Structure 1
Amino acid sequence: MANLFRRLIAPVAPAIQRDTVRLRLDDAEIEVLRVRDPRARRLKLSVDERGARLTMPLRASLASGERFLQANRQWLQQQLARFDGDGLMAPPLALRETGVLPLRGALLPVRWQEGRFTRIEVDAEGACIQLPARAGDASLRRVLREFYEAQMRADVGRWLPAYLPGLSRAPARLRLKVMSSQWGSLAPDGSMALDLALALARPSAFEYVLVHELCHLLQANHSPAFWAEVEARFPHWRQERDYLREEGRMLKATLRQMLQVQVPA
């Protein structure tokens, strides 16, 4: 009863507030999503395929947010330009229309075939997507996700045997999911989760993330001892970490665009 009473009288946590503000850049006027987040400790500006986002602590004034936007106009314009024309980002794959399929650091031309079942096959000419005549957009997104999951499990199946002998145990389970910022995680019970966007990255970067998480079976931290374990198994890990830092946002945005999914902000 006492616990129930405390919950009833406890103050309600402030809700996240969202609105938009218009900002004039050199060649266009854009809308910036403005988010007042009780968890925020400082002003933060970010960009993804959905556009620009300004995160503000509750105590920050609207004027301070406006000054912050103006001070970072040049950076914002550069980041938005990346999503318009550079990197792996491609137009959303439209049903039965010419397009490309991002996979393992490349963009594969897509061709369509009618068939009894939905499936995707990769050959010398690119990617062939087979769909029943009545299949709609939901079927396409489902087969894309299944395809990426199958590709990742095949890669893990090739790489994992080489690393298992030096580990104290094998991962208990592997989950593949769309992750907002992380590339992987390892639960205390040994279950491993990997970001589905790794299917779009170059294979060496994907393998590095796998090794990184496997080393957490030996060191559940990021101490010098942990990085020594990574170094012993994957000497070129720094190059792959830098690649993911540079291209990671674009890879994650491309996957969300392909699957038409949203992740928590």
Structure 2
Amino acid sequence: MTPPFRLLAPRARSVGRVEREAVEFTLPDGRLIEMTRVRDPRARRLRLSVDERGARLTLPPRSSLVAAERFALEHGSWLAEQIDRYTIDALPTLIKGETVALPLRGDSLPVEWREGRFTRLQAEADGHLLFIANPRAGDPALRRALRDFYEAQARADVGRWLPRYLSGLPCAPRRVRLKVMSSQWGSLAPDGTMALDLGLVLARPSAFEYVLVHELCHLVHADHSHAFWREVEARFPDWRAERDYFHAEGRRLKAMMRALCGGPTGR
């Protein structure tokens, strides 16, 4: 009988830190997939997850590999369904001269390609995007240009919305950082620095605006108490609809941003 797990890459052993290793796993239908097995000191239970990067099995520090294998086998059918979903639901790609559309603000905008000295992406007056690429520009240069474009668009949105919500706040954000985040959509540091996920610029504008308001309200209440949500309600009455939107579309938005611009960054 074929064992359910076969080690593909050894884990890096380090006390008190997250350990990762690639393993081969056999699905109930006989397919072999590569899974990332993670031993996380913060984990409290076994957990399976699937996204566009593949399958992930998270183990608490004291869980045995036998228990982990049994857990994965018990959820094999669910795992196969999730993998099929991400295989069929194709993500956008960035290929010089070939990509015909790129996501922005809940829409997909047509892209025109043109050669030029400097690689950059710009929005045209008629609603399409113009990607000017140096003939020697490789994938890293294209990704940087796309990331710079998305950041400029996101900053324009924040700059347009922010003034209307500053009234009644104890202070304005110290600064606003935009970066690709792994799970959160935004955060507020103790020094007043606000971080927003760059993937928000791919969402519908009202959802992006809600996240901005959410983080601004943390300037009044640092927690998620009833008082905090009353503050959000007063400033953004339709916040529940946007929260539901993220529940339905959030993983897809983050997956699109990672596919186009790469993974989380501290920029």
Instruction: Please say whether Structure 1 and Structure 2 have the same fold, judged by a TM-score greater than 0.5.
Output: yes
Give distance in 2, aligned partners of 1:187 and 1:14.
24
Deviations 1:133-166 (A, max 9, x none): 2222221011111001001000011111111113
Greater CA drift, 125-134 or 11-20 = 11-20
* 2:24 and 2:32 in contact (8 A); partners too: no
1:95 CA drift (Å): 1.9
> In the aligned structure 1, how far is the partner of 2:166 from the partner of 2:92?
39
Match of 2:7 in 1: none
Question: Following the alignment from structure 2 to structure 1, what is the Cα–Cα distance between the partners of residues 54 and 15?
Answer: 31
For 1:14 and 1:160, the matched residues in 2 are separated by: 39
Mark the CA change 1:104 to 1:26 in structure 2 (over 3 Å): closer, same or farther: farther
- 2:77 corresponds to which of 74, 77, 85: 74
Give 5+ residue unaligned stretches, structure 1: 1-10
2:101 matched to which residue of 1?
100
- Residue 178 of structure 1 and its aligned partner are, at CA, apart by 1.1
Corresponding residue for residue 6 of structure 2: none
Give % identity: 60
1:37–1:176 distance in 2 versus 1, CA, 3 Å: same
Q: Say if 1:95 and 1:261 are closer, same or farther in 2 by CA, change over 3 A.
A: farther
Is the aligned partner of 1:49 residue 2:52? yes
Checking the alignment, whether the CA contact within 8 Å between 1:21 and 1:34 is kept in structure 2 is no
1:33 paired residue among 36, 39, 45: 36
Residue 9 of structure 2 aligns with which residue?
none
Match among 247, 251, 264 for residue 249 of structure 1: 251
Judging changes above 3 Å, is the alpha-carbon distance between structure 1 residues 204 and 85 closer, same or farther for their aligned structure 2 residues? farther
- Determine if contact 1:185/1:192 at 8 Å carries over to the other structure: yes
Local SS of the residue matching 2:166: helix
Number of paired residues? 252
- Specify which structure has the higher proportion of helix: 1
Which residue is equivalent to 2:143?
141
Is the CA contact 1:45–1:55 (under 8 Å) kept in the aligned structure 2?
Answer: yes
For the aligned residue pairs, the C-alpha RMSD in angstroms reads 2.1
**SS of structure 1 residue aligned to 2:167:** helix
Q: Deviations over 1:158-211 (max 9, x none)?
A: 111111113221111010011111110111121111011101111111000000
Equivalents in 1 of 2:235, 2:17: separation in Å?
46
- Give the superposition deviation at 1:74: 2.9
Gaps of 5+ in 2: 1-13
Aligned mates of 1:73, 1:263 — CA distance in 2: 32
Kindly provide the CA deviation profile for residues 5-38 of structure 1, in whole angstroms up to 9, marking residues without a partner as x: xxxxxx9536614231312244733222112223
Q: For residue 246 of structure 1, report the CA deviation from its aligned partner.
A: 2.1
Q: 1:21 aligns with which of 8, 19, 24?
A: 24
Provide the C-alpha distance between the structure 2 equivalents of 1:198 and 1:25, rounded to a whole number of angstroms: 37
Amino acid at match of 2:108: L
Q: Residue 219 of structure 1 corresponds to which residue in structure 2? A: 221
Give the TM-score normalised by structure 1. Answer: 0.87
- TM-score, length-normalised on structure 2? 0.87
1:88-144 C-alpha deviation (Å, 9 max, x unpaired): x52421122234311111222322111232221234363210112222222101111
Greater Cα offset, 217-226 or 248-257: 248-257
Distance in 1 between residues matched to 2:161 and 2:118, nearest whole Å: 30
* Local SS of the residue matching 1:34: strand
CA distance in 2, matches of 1:57, 1:147: 40
Go from structure 1 to structure 2 and tell me whether the alpha carbon gap of 1:25 and 1:144 turns closer, same or farther (over 3 Å shift): farther
Superposed, which structure 2 residues align to 1:97-176 within 5 Å? Answer: 97-123=98-124, 124=126, 126-176=128-178
User: In structure 1, what is the equivalent of residue 68 of structure 2?
Assistant: 65
Equivalent residue, structure 2, for 1:232:
234
How far is the alpha carbon of 1:78 from its aligned partner?
2.8
3-state SS of 2:214 partner? helix
